[in-house]
Structure 1
Amino acid sequence: MHAPRTTTAALASLTCALALSACSGGGSAAKAPQEVKLTTTTPAAGKPLDSVTWNLTTGEPTTLDPARVGDYSPSTVGSNLCEPLVRLKADYSYKPGLATSWHRPDSRTLVLELRKGVTFWNGRPMTSKDVVASLLRQRDPATQAVTPQAFTAVSTIKATGKHQVTVRFKASDQLFVKYLIGGFGQVSEASYLRKAGKAYGTAKGGLMCTGPFELTRWESGESITAVRNDAYWDTSLRPKAKKLTFKFITDQSTLTSALLSGQIDGSYEIPSTTARALRDSKAGHLYYGPSAQTAYLYPTSGASPLADRRIARALSLVLDRDALIRNVYDGAAQKLKTVIPSMVWKNSKAADVYAKAYDRLPAVPAVDLAGARKLVGEAAPKQRTISIAMPAGDQQSLQTLTFLQAGAKKIGLKVDIRQLQPTQMSSLFYDPSVRKGLDATVVVGYVEIPDPVTYAELFTAPGSPLNWINYRNPKVTSLLERAKAAESVEENAKLFGQAQALYSDELPIVPLACPYERVFLNKRLSGAPASFAYINMPWAAHLGGTGEGSS
């Protein structure tokens, strides 16, 4: 994970200001947050564009291989290049993509009917062999795929016709189709995959996909360039922009200047400090959209003081979330009872079932120092210093931990903030050795799949690579497994709600906030989705000119 950088002097000044706010309850001296209005899309625009320069605020991707894409930057680029079998919509619902339809002859069989007339960038037709190769390579440990859990119940995946693929399961799995909306379901040409080998998705190995833009150049450390696919099968979504250039500006002041000057046309994941400078700018428009992201604290091992639910609860009780959202997120966030935002399920046919289960969870706690001290006393931790990792230079994480640090001090705990460099922070999630000497980390996670079961399993399933505290509750595991197998969406939601009530009470996770999506578009652009669904959508194909400025 790449993180924005800032100067030491700026951080010191910011830390003092936030510590004062956290201790006194006073507001920030910064510009007051404006009223935030959410929208899933920006106004439609139909004029052609010669080129668009877009920024990746989390830095240069390490790969664009769909099987290995699991972070902001690679997904932002890759979603316009490689297409999935099922397409995500801006409201987090989904529809046919490279698969025109699917059906289940029985509970353990899924038949995918593929779209005919689709070609790869090299002009070769997409067939079922390409789909099977794209899916099965992710089962090979050598691929290092980021979604191995999608294969939990899969028995076989076979081409059963030139444009048909049949998936057979060991047990009913109703979530498999939803996994197909992301990198897991993106299709690459089989022969190109074999030829590129381990280099697939790199600057050297390239890609071969069917999407609306074609990767043409990757200059490491400088930029990634893609051009319009004039033979794109979806005539309603053929890009209006001839060329996309992606830049990797992670420094917030540099990004602000580049957006204000027009050097950069747009960006998702606009940091709060940049948003404050942009929101009244005449250079373009800052949009806020619903999000599937959550910021939270998570213990790095079962030996961490934070692994004790009472310590986690105590830290939750010292955190003034209203002040956090006002000062850190500039008002562009909401409080959450859990780590799964409502956007994930709000457009489900069972949205009311999910909503009722969420409403039954305990309320987000108000600041309660007396209650927090009591919990610390009951826990009586031998270790009173809690080392928390964060990406070096990430101002929002630093500000959040500064708030927490001030509150923790009042209840006899010390928060030691550890800033890790981007490669270390990324490795922390996969390499246990990096987590040694750390007690917790700030996580800004997001739920890619429009079903909360997929995210809940990451923390609760025995053997999951993110179950760092070795959480075990057979009832939770059973409920989630039954939810995955449920043929009724209402039954799926009901079972998930029962599991959520249990693990939310037992897991030592401290939800902080759900930050809204922030996207900035130069005044000459419009049409891009404003919601977090962009992460798995061909968002750039929606871009068009407004007639303002040059094209």
Structure 2
Amino acid sequence: MHAPRTTALTFTALLTLAACSPGTGTGGKAASPGALKLTSTTPAASGTLDEVTWNLPFGEPTTLDPAKVGDYSPNTVEANLCDPLLRIRPDYSLAPGLATSWSNPDDKTLVLNLRTDVSFWNGHAMTAEDVVASLARQRETATQSVNTQALANVSTITATGDHQVTVRFKTPDELFLKYLANGFGAVSEAAYLKKAGTSYGTAKGGLMCTGPFKLSSWRSGDSLTTVRNTAYWDTSLRPKVKKLTFLFVTDNSTLTSALLSGQIDGSYEIPSTVAKALSSSDIGTLYYGPSAQTVFVYPTGPKSPLADHRIAQALSLVLDRDALVKNVYDGAAQKLKTFIPSLVWQKSEAADVYAKGYDALPAVPDVDVAKAKRLVDEAAPKQRTISIAMGAGDQQSLQTLTFLQAAAKKIGLKIAVKQLQPTQMSGLFYDPSLRKGLDATMALGYIEIPDPLSYAQMFTSPLSPLNWIKYDNPEVTALLTRSQASLDPQASAELFTQAQALYTADLPMVPISAPYERMFMNKRISGAPASFAYINMPWAAMLGGTDKAGS
């Protein structure tokens, strides 16, 4: 799972929107709330291509080690290089990956049966020992895994056959299996891991995985190149693109020009300003898909004025979300009742329970300045200026905070926007020293695995490193703990929704929006999924040429 981004949306209405026929996009029309059509897929590719150039709008990856990926850029690349044990489909449902099947002989045991026909890029066969090594190394401090919480309830991980792994737990854990669908569950060759050591996943140390693309070269500051794995075990996903090059263009104007000129063939996470320029061009298609992304403002410490839930509620009451979605996102987002989007659970066996729980939450509030003023007066904060961090150059976040600034003035509060460089912005989520002088941050988060429990615990558990405000509601903690320990999907969901109702009322956070996925491909390529599920699936293996590839 990943931490909130700067760094793991749709609710009941999305169930209807997502049913649109595959391949629908804006087709040159400007987006508007009533006209948007969401799709999880795009028209299947029809031919091979020698090369495709794809952009990473959040910049160059810091690592490709599956254990460490936890942000847009590294996830986008790594998902095509290193296969996980389970796979996420475009609709965010789970499917077999390197594990063909799994079972629970009892509540504290998980048995994974592995494919017998898988080889690493070097031709060496994948065995259970590789799986054990890949999972177990994430306990080691030197690995710096971003998914250590997935191992919290694990007692042992052992090879119980050449192609079978058995995991035993100290207490039942319904989340563990789902974590196997992201970088935590990706399999690397044990011998290569040992040889590469801490340089694994870097330009120097390289990778040794089983995915549809192989890492070819990594020129720091310039590009990252992968080539297709012609011996890929999943014959239905053997790549049609021979060479896939990733660029790191973060400037919106430069990206717009490169996409319109064809220098870059496609990109996920298209910024709204770029989307407007692309929507009026016939160079390709801008797709909107369901997403597990979430935007909210979150206090950085218990002394922040925003750590008082009355102040958070007051800001929520003066924020005109309808205007924000229209003007900042060009209609390509939805309002949020809470900070977890429905794509995360809508394919669950207990989707009806989650839906009922979400529907029961208080509605997104209309603007009510009088009520907000009363809350501020009641809280009587000693500090009325709230400094909020955001990533420098992120125009969407700046526009959002500008909305919040104007709204806050109406209730006697001042918002001071602090633009931080990418490394500092990303680092503040893990380094307390980088949060000094800040009262809150603009969190651009996403949920990697199809279960809302994983994300909720990050902000409500007293033990979570992201619980900066020391939120501690014993009833919420108890309910979420019981939810995780239940292997009955319906019972687990019931417990989660009870906890959700409680923390939605007292967790000081300002939910803002749930952006849709925005992906662009020029007319020479097609096939890539349009939903946010791309973040943990081999999306580039679906890419290929169209009948317009030569035009």
Give the TM-score taking structure 2 as reference length: 0.94
**1:240 paired to 2:240:** yes
The match for 2:257 is: 257
1:269 aligns with 2:269: yes
CA deviations 1:189-243 (Å, max 9, x no partner) are 0000010001000000000000000001000000000000001000111000001
- Offset of residue 549 of structure 1: 3.3
**Contact 2:319/2:367, CA 8 A, preserved across alignment:** yes
Match in the other structure for 1:297: 297
Q: Is the 8 A contact 1:2 1:59 kept in 2?
A: no
Match of 1:427 in 2: 427
Q: Distance in 2 between matches of 1:41 and 1:371?
A: 44
What displacement does 1:280 show?
A: 2.7
1:461 counterpart letter in structure 2: S
Corresponding residue for 1:53? 53
Residue equivalent to 1:101: 101
| Contact 1:295–1:511 (8 Å) recurs in 2 | yes
Give the whole-Å Cα distance in 1 for the aligned partners of 2:43 and 2:301: 46
Amino acid at match of 2:32: P
| Paired position in structure 2 for 1:120 | 120
Native 8 Å contact 2:240 2:541 kept in 1: yes
Whether 1:477 and 2:477 are equivalent positions in the alignment is: yes
Aligned to 2:467: 467
Distance in 2 separating the partners of 1:473 and 1:173: 21
Whole-Å separation in 1 of the counterparts to 2:441 and 2:199:
32
The alignment partner of 2:286 has SS state of strand
- 1:192 and 1:450 map into 2 onto residues whose CA distance is 31
The residue correspondences of 1:133-532 to structure 2 (distance < 5 A) are 133-532=133-532
The aligned counterpart of 1:16 is: none
Structure 1: state its 5+ residue gaps: 4-30
Note the C-alpha offset of 1:2: 9.5
Per mean C-alpha deviation after superposition, the further-off stretch among 357-366 and 469-478 is 469-478
Aligned equivalents of 1:230, 1:104: Cα separation in 2: 35
Please tell me whether the aligned partners of residues 2 and 422 of structure 1 are also in contact (alpha carbons under 8 angstroms): no
Q: Distance in 2 between matches of 1:173 and 1:493?
A: 14
What amino acid is the match of 2:512? L
C-alpha distance in 2, partners of 1:33/1:105? 51
Q: How many Å apart are 1:45 and its aligned residue?
A: 1.6
The C-alpha deviation readout for 1:466-518, integer Å capped at 9, x for no partner, is 00001111211111111111121111110100010111111001000000000
Farther-moved stretch of structure 1 (345-354 vs 74-83): 345-354
How many angstroms apart in 1 are the aligned matches of 2:48 and 2:204?
31
Task: Give the structure 2 partner of residue 43 of structure 1.
Answer: 43
Report the CA distance between 1:44 and its aligned residue. 1.1
Query: What is the letter of the counterpart of residue 113 of structure 2?
Result: E
Alpha-carbon distance, 1:32 to partner: 7.2
- The CA distance in 2 between the partners of 1:43 and 1:500, in whole Å, is 38
Distance 2:398 2:32 in 1: 19
Aligned-residue offset at 1:46: 2.0
TM-score normalized with structure 1 length: 0.94
Task: Report the equivalent of 1:33.
Answer: 32
Instruction: Tell me the matched-pair count.
Output: 524
Mapped contact 1:526–1:543 kept (Cα < 8 A): yes
Paired residue secondary structure (1:42): coil
Distance 1:547 1:32, change over 3 A: closer
Q: Aligned-pair distance for 1:117?
A: 1.2
- Equivalent residue for 2:111? 111
- Give the Cα separation in 1 of the matches to 2:478 and 2:529: 37
Given that 1:480 and 1:499 are in contact with CA atoms closer than 8 Å, whether structure 2 keeps it comes out as: yes
Amino acid in the other structure paired with 1:276: K
Aligned partners of 2:56 and 2:267 also within 8 Å: yes
The answer (yes or no) to whether the contact 2:5–2:444 under 8 Å persists in 1 is no
CA distance in 2 between counterparts of 1:484 and 1:308 reads 28
Other structure's SS at 1:104 match: strand
Q: Deviations over 1:59-82 (max 9, x none)?
A: 000000000000000000000000
Q: Do the aligned residues in 2 keep the contact of 1:2 with 1:58 (CA within 8 Å)?
A: no
Report how far residue 550 of structure 1 moved. Answer: 2.8
Distance 2:458 2:550 in 1: 46
Deviations 1:152-186, CA, capped at 9 Å, x for gaps: 11000001111000000001112111000000000
The answer (yes or no) to whether the contact 1:329–1:515 under 8 Å persists in 2 is: yes
Q: Distance in 2 between matches of 1:331 and 1:74?
A: 28
Contact in 1 for aligned 2:297/2:510 (Cα 8 Å)? yes
